[in-house]
Structure 1
Amino acid sequence: MNMLWLFCWLNEWLGLSVIVIVLLLICLCVLTVRLRLELDDDPVQIIFFVWWPITVYLGWIMVATIACVAAWLVSIGFQGGFVAPETWTITMIVIATALFLYLIRKRNLREASLVGVWAFIAIAIKQWQVHQTISITAITASIVLLVAATIHGYKNRETSPVAKLQRGEW
């Protein structure tokens, strides 16, 4: 499905690419739930080779879905109606931050939220010269996610892979 999305995106079939990436996001969410990612106390191998790759990929697809929808809306001439484009962007950052915080709190998916940190820092850098309000919002969102992930990791440090490796568990 990822290849299909990439094919649609590179051929600038943006409407179709939105449909494909939303389906991909749904599949990853179902996979996350069915595999109970980061809900059980699994061995380090499962964490390294199953949980983390899927979780990071989920975070990336969440960010890419928002970017893909935004690109499609621009391509069809959507101007934001009565809301300024800058306000739409800030709203999307806030919504994405809330989703990532939900993933940390309810599913223990800190790694997905760290993808959000990376994406928001990239947005902040790109928008700094043009829209500092967007940049400041993105930096704030990055800090919020980083702090939330750090606190969550600290609270759950006994079941972390580092603690397991220190105890000789593999």
Structure 2
Amino acid sequence: MPLMAQLLDELQHSGADQSTLSQSWEGNTQRDQLRAQVLKHWNDTALRSKSGRPVDAILCPVAPTLAPPHGTVRWIGYTSYWNLLDLPAVVFPSKKPFDASAWESGSKSNSLRDKPLNPIDEFVRAQWDPKAFDGAPISLQLVGRRWQEEKLLAALQHVEDAMARFD
């Protein structure tokens, strides 16, 4: 099931009430306040950088797992956060595929916690099979500043060039 259809289906069956106009307005106000806080934090990175400039982009994971089987996504927080902030992001493979044999040889250090944190964590854990994910791409995302898509793509080229040096 495509992600949008899945999200709409979950929303319809969630039991959540529809927002009133004033609730929607309040939600938008809170979103805008969050955007302003994040922008201030981003701009304040200039105070901590040697160049005196804010960071150009944020390199981060796409998800806490490898790509799940189609129709089984249960949490999109690693990407939806940037959508909420209206920041451009590009997802790309790290060119370093998952190696099940390396996972299993380090299984003591890679063991999962005893108890799932919540129902989503339990669902994701039930899907985990290192052999099924062998060779799957490990993807990353690069996030840029609002209205700076061209700079984000240029930064992506620098990241990919740097990663190519480690092949």
* TM-score, scaled to structure 1: 0.29
Question: Structure 2-normalised TM-score?
Answer: 0.30
Q: Which has the higher strand share?
A: 2
Asked which structure has the greater RCO (Cα within 8 Å, sep 6+), the reply is 2
Between Structure 1 and Structure 2, whose CA radius of gyration is higher? 2
